[in-house]
């Protein structure tokens, strides 16, 4: 029955009804219409094959459609006070604890739960696998209940569901995931592969995987395909691959066989992770370890050299002990100059000093008191050294004296060193000349760690140059640095 404006006009002209009669009739009509709408909605729900039930704001079941009644074996009308959570289980068979079912989560967090996987366990029957959808019902800001739907799915549906989930995981993975056939042709290519190698999926799919492999590593792909054809995965290993722009990138690579539904191997799945940062950290760690080893060896060698120098001039054990202590103290003070003290990144603490002051501090432990210090001669002009360059320059000069003590002029009683300083408008020159030490018969085939460190310090931190001239009578080192070191 439809209640129209014409009905209202007709009723208003019936004096026996009045306003009260009109209101009662209208209310009865609206209640009837609401009941009819509810019955229609219930009929629609009952016609659906999915189990649907509604609850109030506390989770009490108010309505079940026919499918839900069949699934759960009971309904709100039987007065048993049952709860769907009593029959619902998680996919692994564990019970959904009170207050932690998808329905409870939807009510508590006021958000829809879509596609939670679960099972319904009923006595004497096979478990029924379902997808659970729970949606809170709100009247404005007020929570009034929830509507819940359970969708049964079989093994095929389950396989499709997990296939979709797997596709989502692959697409969103931070690792490059690539599949290829047994001929090495690329079949799939995720977003992370695009970021890592620079090729879009449309550029990569259908092309040979060899486009990523440097020429000198093609044998890797041959070995990988052989393992895959034999059903053997390739364990994680580190290698290099080529990007679209031609640059090389270090990666960690894992390869697994791909099988079809019959178990036949049809290709391979590759997972590649960029390890550039790990490689840099590893190199930095090795550099620190090598430097520590180098410095420890140097300390031991220098200590031995200082003892030898002290023995040349000592007249008795007490005098030698005193000389050794003085030299070690001077060596310690000189070594302090090589330490960086940073208050802010790129800002070195300290005061400027002069070149001669710095050199005297470095060479003082090695002066031969028996010859009044004439084994090391300092000549030439002095110059102010900027505070930011002092520590770096001290490190380089300390390396010179250490090498002279271990291999050069300071390793013998007859050895001599002349240090000549010169200045110009734009730079400072230091020429370090050794003679009287062990004869040099050939140029060293490679630089030691200390020499490499000295060269990198001069060129990288001081913006200067360093040259070694290996003469038969001794090495001549020419060091040039600008007055204002590179920032």
All residue ranges of the chain with pLDDT < 50 are: 1-22, 340-350, 485-487
Looking at the structure of the chain, the number of domains it has is 3
* 324 and 462 assigned to the same domain: yes
For residues 48 and 27, what is the distance between their CA atoms, to the nearest angstrom? Answer: 32
Listed residue (344, 346, 355, 349) closest to 397, CA to CA: 355
Give CA 450 to chain center in angstroms: 32
Q: How far is CA 145 from CA 61, 104, 107, 211, 483, in A?
A: 9, 10, 7, 58, 79
* 146 and 205 assigned to the same domain: no
* 109 and 141 assigned to the same domain: yes
- pLDDT of 48 reads 84
* 335 and 466 assigned to the same domain: yes
User: Which helix or strand (DSSP H or E) is residue 191 part of?
Assistant: helix 191-197
In a domain, 168, yes or no: no
Report the CATH number at residue 347: 3.30.565.10
* 309 and 451 assigned to the same domain: yes
* 220 and 91 assigned to the same domain: no
For residues 481 and 426, what is the distance between their CA atoms, to the nearest angstrom? Answer: 9
pLDDT over 70 for what percent of the chain?
72
289 beta partners: none
Report the CATH number at residue 152: 3.30.450.20
In the structure encoding, which two tokens stand for residue 14, read together? 């019936």
For the chain, the farthest-separated pair of C-alpha atoms sits apart, in whole angstroms, at: 142
Sheet holding 474-482, edge to edge: 376-380, 416-423, 427-435, 474-482, 465-471
In a domain, 487, yes or no: no
In a domain, 133, yes or no: yes
* 137 and 180 assigned to the same domain: no
* 214 and 270 assigned to the same domain: yes
Residues with Cβ < 8 Å from 25, sequence gap 6 or more? 11, 17
Q: Tell me: the pLDDT tens digits for 323-353?
A: 666 666 666 666 666 554 333 333 344 456 8
Range of the domain at 216: 173-274
- pLDDT of 70 reads 84
Domain-terminating residue out of 253, 274, 295: 274
Predicted structure pTM score: 0.41
The answer to whether residues 201 and 295 touch, using CB atoms and an 8 Å cutoff, is no
For residues 366 and 402, what is the distance between their CA atoms, to the nearest angstrom? Answer: 10
* 217 and 327 assigned to the same domain: no
């Amino acid at each position: 029955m439809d209640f129209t404006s014409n009905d209202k006009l007709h009723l208003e002209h019936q004096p026996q009804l009045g306003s009260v009669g009109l209101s009662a009739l209208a209310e009865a009509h609206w209640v009837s219409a609401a009941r009819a709408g509810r019955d229609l909605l219930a009929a629609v729900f009952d016609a659906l094959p999915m189990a649907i039930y509604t609850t109030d704001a506390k989770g009490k079941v108010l309505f079940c459609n026919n499918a839900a009644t069949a699934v759960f074996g009971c309904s709100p009308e039987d007065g048993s006070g049952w709860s769907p959570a009593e029959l619902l289980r998680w996919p692994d068979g564990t019970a959904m604890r009170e207050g932690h079912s998808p329905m409870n989560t939807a009510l508590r967090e006021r958000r829809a739960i879509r596609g939670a996987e679960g099972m319904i366990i009923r006595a004497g029957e096979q478990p029924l696998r379902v997808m659970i959808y729970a949606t809170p019902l709100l009247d404005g800001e007020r929570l009034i209940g929830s509507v819940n739907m359970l969708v049964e799915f079989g093994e095929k549906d389950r396989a499709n569901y997990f296939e979709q989930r797997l596709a989502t995981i692959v697409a969103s993975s931070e690792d490059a995931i690539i599949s290829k056939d047994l001929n090495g042709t690329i079949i799939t290519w995720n977003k992370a592969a695009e970021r890592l190698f620079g090729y879009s999926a449309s550029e990569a799919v259908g092309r040979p995987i060899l486009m990523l492999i440097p020429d000198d590593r093609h044998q890797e792909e041959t070995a990988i395909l052989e393992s895959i054809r034999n059903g053997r995965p390739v364990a994680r290993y580190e290698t290099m691959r080529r990007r679209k722009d031609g640059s090389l990138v270090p990666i960690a690579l894992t390869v697994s066989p791909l099988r079809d539904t019959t178990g036949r191997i049809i290709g391979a799945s590759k997972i590649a992770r960029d390890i550039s940062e790990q490689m840099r950290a590893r190199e930095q760690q090795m550099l620190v370890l090598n430097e520590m080893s180098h410095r420890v060896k140097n300390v031991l060698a220098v200590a031995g050299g200082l003892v030898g120098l002290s023995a040349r001039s000592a007249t008795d054990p007490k005098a030698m002990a005193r000389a050794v202590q003085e030299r070690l103290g001077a060596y310690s003070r000189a070594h302090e100059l090589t330490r960086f003290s940073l208050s802010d990144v790129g800002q070195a603490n300290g005061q400027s000093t002069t070149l001669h002051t710095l050199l005297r501090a470095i060479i003082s432990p090695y002066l031969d008191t028996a010859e009044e210090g004439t084994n090391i001669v300092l000549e030439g002009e002095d110059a102010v050294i900027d505070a930011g360059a002092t520590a770096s320059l001290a490190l380089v000069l300390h390396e010179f004296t250490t090498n002279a003590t271990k291999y050069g002029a300071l390793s013998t009683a007859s050895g001599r060193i002349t240090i000549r300083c010169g200045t110009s408008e734009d730079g400072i020159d230091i020429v370090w000349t050794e003679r009287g030490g062990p004869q040099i018969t050939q140029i060293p085939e490679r630089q030691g760690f200390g020499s490499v460190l000295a060269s990198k310090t001069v060129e990288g931190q001081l913006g200067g140059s360093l040259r070694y001239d290996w003469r038969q009578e001794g090495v001549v080192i020419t060091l040039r640095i600008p007055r204002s070191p590179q920032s």
